[in-house]
Structure 1
Amino acid sequence: MSALILAVLLAALDQTIVSTALPRIAEDLNGFDDIAWVSAAYLLASTAVTPLWGKLGDMFGRKRLYLTSTSIFLIASVACGLARNLPELIGARVLQGVGGGGMIVLTFALVGDIVAPSERGRYQGMFGSVYGVASIVGPLLGGVFTDQLSWRWAFLVNLPFGIVALAIAARALPAAARGAKARIDYLGATVLAAIATGLVLVTSFGGRWGWGSPGIVGLIVAVVVFAALLAPVERRAAAPVLPPAMLGSRTVVFSSLIGFFANAAMFAVLVYLPTYLQIVRGVSATLSGIYMLPLVAGLVVSQSLAGRWAAHVERLRTILLVGLAANLAGLLLLGTIGAATDTLALSVYFLITGIGIGMVPMVVLTTVQNSVPAADLGAASAVVTFARSIGAAFGVAVFGTLLNTGFADRTHALPTAGGFDAGRPDTIGRLPAALRDTALDAFAHATAMGYLWIAPTLAAGILLALFLRPARKGGETADVPTTTADGALTTTADDAPTTAANGVPATAEDTVTAA
């Protein structure tokens, strides 16, 4: 577990640690126009390869794939740290995303391998806490490395910790049995990668290129076309990357959608609250992290409690509903913030939001893992991870558009003399003192309205959670058919447990063995 947690920490940090280093990277490598690709390349690659890593783990054993993905990540980290120009850095970030995506999804699947269904929630909660902490600590570390050492250390720091994680994993992880031999579904993996690429590009660059621009519209059309091709392609595959039966599972589909909505809200909070603190409250990047400690505390505590409560798997839906409701309440409270909101009130809002954020993601993953046969753990984990990654990109992109549009609408009449730009909130400091308060009020209002606009996504998640039917205690398969050696499907009913020959309710393992 120590090796897996360390690996997830590194992979999660590399999604956020470069954000504060980007201006210095652009300056050193002379690439201001394309600097956004440094972040987008990692997100794009890690999202696109997630389903393939999950399926390959099912087929060839997760331990060897985990060691491979970690090695790729470390090699790419060195390449990032030694990059001589921006194209080299972007290429290395793509490779790093390929490894990081595998590390995350295989870690979640490995927990499903080595932990009993009734205990998965507790252990998955640890990884959720790591994700939340990484989202806050990453930008701070990036700033420290950039100011005190070099931006290159934001990548090179992965090497010593990654080698330790690799050594522990090689020695301690059990060698899982390989699945049935089958041809790799290259066509299905390509179609899924194309869908992921289109979605990430749309969400990452829609605001910059224009949501109605030919490039964005073309990407949306391409995503729709590939999405329509996915089901026919996977039905014809001998070992589909995304088993069609899984798409017919209410638990998998609803849980993935809940993960999408929850991650969209979570990253809108984690990415833009520090921006609000730094611009409106005038604090440093380091101090903004201290302001965020109530949120991190709520996240870590609720993750731990949710993991313990998830040991009673009948409560999974209840935990999801409570977490989504708390998260929704937090967003509604954040929708009231202004330039004059006092620190105590902010701390309470952050705490409630953190509690809601922490209770949802890993419970969603545990719900899905407990609903599928052991042979499909990797693919199921990949589906949820894929949905959450797209949700994160969606939340950041949509909130950023809402924030910038709202700010520009309320400050378009302010004078631009001195370098103030209504499309760039970071130029507020260039305004005369008499107008600065007006701009700060406008930015605070735009931030609050953005959270109110995001809140309905959590309401949709609550509605979906009401219709979830999680697996019963003991981890029985809920509603996903098991694939037999000859490709036939054996379905386990939603409303009645599978029964063995002796009349005893069968576990998921029994179902797989019988198939």
Structure 2
Amino acid sequence: MEHSGLLSGWRLRAVTSSIALAMFLVNIEVSVVATSLVAIVDDLQGFNRIGWVVTSYLVTYTSMYPHIFRPHIADTTQGLIIIWSKFSNAWGRKTCMVCALFLFVAFSGACGGSQSMTQLIIFRSFQGVGAAGCVSLGLTIAYEMVAEHDYPKYAAIISSFSAFGSLVGPLLGGAFSEKVSWRWIFLINVPVGSLICVLLFFSIPNRFPYQNQPIATSRDGVHRSKLARSRSLDLLGAFCLLGASLLLVTALLEAGVTFKWKSAPTISLFTLSGILWIAFVLQEYRLSKSVHTTTEPIFPWEFFQNRAWVGTLMLSLLSGAPYIVEIIDIPQRFQTLGVDAFGAGVRLIPFNLLIALGAVAVNIVAGKSGIPPIVLLSVGVAFQLTGVCLLSTLTSVTSIPSAIYGYQVLTGLGIGIMFGLCLVLPPAVAKSRDLALCAGAVLQFRVLGGALALAVATTVWNNYATTRLQHLLPPDQLSMILKSTGAVSLLPEPAKRQVMEVLVRSYNQRTRVLIGFTAAQFVAVMMLWRRPQISFTQKDSKKTEKTEHSSITDAALKS
């Protein structure tokens, strides 16, 4: 059923500003940690668990589950982005958006007060619960508050704030770590997030986007109470998705560090993850094909049958990998070579600046020039692949090569192009009734791709570095370095240089993991191929635009 929830005037400006600022806060929480990781793990003594500081935020988008093999650490898992979207269908966009932002703010404060790595990982997990809702519902509200021909414009606004968060995040993280305390990278969210909560509460109309209709309806158009719509949630599918993601990421991060690759715990984790992934697919198929159930699937089976939509999801999944890994890897390279945290943030500007410019510029080009997105996406992948390959060739252990800034420009521009276009593709390739699910899915797959890539890359780094360092250092010195990189400066000169060479090569090995993720994006781009090609050019007549969009959607479903 179509809604009539378009906003105008002060409400449109206030909601746009609130969503943009919320997206800024959520996105900054990835990049702000990039230059603070060294300070955090040095203070809390846990360099060998550094991957969890970022990954727990990325993949922990649901309720807490006790860790199976390490009960003193509680982890949560990716998946709540889509689940937030489903809850918003039942309880309303406004209620869920405010609740999501409140959770994010509350656990940001808890992260700032953490006294151990275990506490930080747990609180980062709950912080991710709120973050998932902010990104999913923020984008959904943005889709629903304006007409289709305004999508590129508002996508550019939201993309610019998100990208700006990534740009200034490393600078703020470095500044707080150097001048005050790393704890302020989390505590600053409390006053700012609280103000956004208030603004959202007063600016979003009640029952948006159905504020002009007497009764909200479900996805299938049947009038239901909120309780009945809540009961229609696919809890079994959610459990399978969340469990599968949790077990897979845990296996990747812990194998070779806590457990051996061929050990029973590692094999069990991978096996159980595979079983749950299969169970998730079967559950979604059963619900989608059944005519005797009111339970709505998290991921409708028709999504799997829509080639263009699957291609969009794969692009989002794969493009999240180079962003997350490089925004962590590049500052660590600089700090390993003696640059302070703020200086590392400054040197990361080319990477984040080009992501911001690329995301904004590509939406403007797509909206004004009529160039098909498939062409722009191919250009973005080419830039990414070139930049990632070049970043994996750095070998200096005494100075920072100037070429690294050019490599950052190429990689960042390619990532920005992909991010910008993936935000506006869902309305062109999926049904409008599934828009909330699609918005959540795009963001969820991007986060999941980044989390999986970071888990794989961290495993490669840990195994490569540990294997080679244990032949160079006695156990006590190796243990010190795995807890704090500052211990490298305490080593005598011959051993120090050898350790530095191992660390630099470890970073290169981690970057090479991204080559596969990036090259695979070409396959996903080709899945968007069709005649006529998707285009976001504005039409002189809204009727013409609506007819063209309808034909594009029908073609996507048939393909």
Matched, 1:5 2:20: yes
Q: Which of 125, 142, 154 is the equivalent residue of 1:111?
A: 142
Q: CA deviation at 1:157?
A: 1.4
With over 3 angstroms needed to count, the CA separation of the structure-2 counterparts of 1:394 and 1:54, relative to structure 1, is same
With over 3 angstroms needed to count, the CA separation of the structure-2 counterparts of 1:187 and 1:429, relative to structure 1, is same
1:270-292 CA-partner distances (Å, limit 9, x unpaired):
11111111113x21111111111
Aligned length: 486
1:389-414 CA-partner distances (Å, limit 9, x unpaired):
12111221222233344445555543
Give the aligned partner of residue 190 of structure 1. 239
Q: CA deviation at 1:437?
A: 3.5
Alpha carbons 1:117, 1:475 under 8 Å: kept: no
Alpha carbons 1:209, 1:216 under 8 Å: kept: no
Give the aligned partner of residue 257 of structure 2. 208
Q: CA deviation at 1:156?
A: 2.5
Residues 71-470 of structure 1 mapped to structure 2, 5 A cutoff: 71-81=102-112, 91-135=122-166, 137-138=168-169, 140-146=171-177, 148-173=179-204, 175-177=208-210, 178-180=216-218, 181=224, 182=229, 183-210=232-259, 211-234=261-284, 235-236=286-287, 238=294, 239-280=296-337, 282-311=338-367, 315-339=372-396, 343-408=401-466, 413-416=471-474, 419=477, 424=482, 426=485, 427-469=487-529
1:198-253 CA-partner distances (Å, limit 9, x unpaired):
23323443353344333332222222112212233233253222212112221222
* Cα distance in 2 between the residues matched to 1:364 and 1:431: 47
TM-score by length of 2: 0.76
Q: CA deviation at 1:331?
A: 0.8
What amino acid is the match of 1:461? Q
With over 3 angstroms needed to count, the CA separation of the structure-2 counterparts of 1:283 and 1:20, relative to structure 1, is closer
* Cα distance in 1 between the residues matched to 2:47 and 2:506: 27
Q: CA deviation at 1:264?
A: 1.2
Alpha carbons 1:335, 1:449 under 8 Å: kept: yes
Alpha carbons 1:73, 1:97 under 8 Å: kept: yes
* Cα distance in 1 between the residues matched to 2:266 and 2:147: 45
1:153-205 CA-partner distances (Å, limit 9, x unpaired):
33321121112222222333352124414422222222222223223323443
Q: CA deviation at 1:315?
A: 1.7
Q: CA deviation at 1:61?
A: 3.2
Question: Which residues of structure 1 form unaligned runs of 5+?
Answer: 477-498
Alpha carbons 2:22, 2:193 under 8 Å: kept: yes
What amino acid is the match of 1:302? G
With over 3 angstroms needed to count, the CA separation of the structure-2 counterparts of 1:251 and 1:314, relative to structure 1, is farther
Identity of aligned residues (%): 24
* Cα distance in 1 between the residues matched to 2:179 and 2:55: 25
What amino acid is the match of 1:432? P
Alpha carbons 2:108, 2:127 under 8 Å: kept: yes
Please, what is the CA RMSD of the aligned residues? 3.6
* Cα distance in 2 between the residues matched to 1:344 and 1:351: 12
* Cα distance in 2 between the residues matched to 1:224 and 1:154: 37
Q: Which has the higher contact order (CA 8 A, sep 6+)?
A: 2
* Cα distance in 2 between the residues matched to 1:397 and 1:434: 32
* Cα distance in 2 between the residues matched to 1:25 and 1:506: 49
* Cα distance in 2 between the residues matched to 1:33 and 1:409: 14
* Cα distance in 2 between the residues matched to 1:475 and 1:195: 40
Of 297-306 and 431-440, the range deviating more from structure 2: 431-440
Alpha carbons 2:84, 2:136 under 8 Å: kept: yes
SS in 2 for 1:419: helix
1:463-514 CA-partner distances (Å, limit 9, x unpaired):
22123147744699xxxxxxxxxxxxxxxxxxxxxx99xx965748999xxx
Alpha carbons 2:315, 2:524 under 8 Å: kept: yes
TM-score by length of 1: 0.82
Give the aligned partner of residue 496 of structure 1. none
Give the aligned partner of residue 44 of structure 1. 59
Alpha carbons 1:11, 1:100 under 8 Å: kept: yes
With over 3 angstroms needed to count, the CA separation of the structure-2 counterparts of 1:155 and 1:444, relative to structure 1, is closer
Of 440-449 and 252-261, the range deviating more from structure 2: 440-449
With over 3 angstroms needed to count, the CA separation of the structure-2 counterparts of 1:473 and 1:324, relative to structure 1, is closer
Of 349-358 and 178-187, the range deviating more from structure 2: 178-187
Q: CA deviation at 1:27?
A: 8.4
Q: CA deviation at 1:5?
A: 1.7
Alpha carbons 1:407, 1:422 under 8 Å: kept: no
Residues 474-489 of structure 1 mapped to structure 2, 5 A cutoff: none
* Cα distance in 1 between the residues matched to 2:203 and 2:552: 23
What amino acid is the match of 1:218? S
With over 3 angstroms needed to count, the CA separation of the structure-2 counterparts of 1:360 and 1:242, relative to structure 1, is same
SS in 2 for 1:202: helix
